[in-house]
Copies of this chain bind each other. A is one copy, B any other.
Amino acid sequence: MTRAATTSDVFNAIAEPQRREILVLLRAGERSVAELAQELGMTQPGASKHLRVLREVGLVRDRKAGKQRLYGLDASGLRPVHEWTGCFEQFWNESFDRLDAYVKDLKQTRKAE
């Protein structure tokens, strides 16, 4: 095999920092492609391509508004990601416990020097 096809997967779509920025911006409401491109400092084709990926995985919806095309958020696709990470929630405290033990050990070592 060569390389796994990761596109058309929500986890992959939000792996791109710029695409995450787009989603954050869209929380404030619908935007045109040009507006998004300008606010995020990217070219129009660049914004359009990222929006396409987000559209294909269902994270944004577009509607025509005259010459413009307004993109809006459809965050329901983020729910699986939220739930998947939530399955590890019980391990966060454990991690902190381990870190805590590590710090205590460090202090002990410093005292001994």
Contact = CB atoms under 8 A, between A and B. Distances in A.
Interface residues of A, number: 36
Interface stretch (A32-40, A70-78, A105-113): A70-78
Contact of A9 (B4, B15, B18, B85): B15
Interface of A: 4, 6, 9, 11-12, 14-18, 20, 23-24, 27, 61, 73-76, 78-79, 81-82, 84-89, 91-92, 94-96, 98-99
Interface SS, A side: helix
Nearest to A85: B82
A3 to B, nearest CB: 11
21 contacts: A6-B16, A9-B15, A11-B14, A11-B15, A11-B17, A12-B15, A15-B15, A24-B87, A27-B87, A27-B88, A73-B95, A75-B89, A75-B92, A76-B99, A78-B85, A78-B92, A79-B92, A81-B81, A81-B85, A82-B82, A82-B85
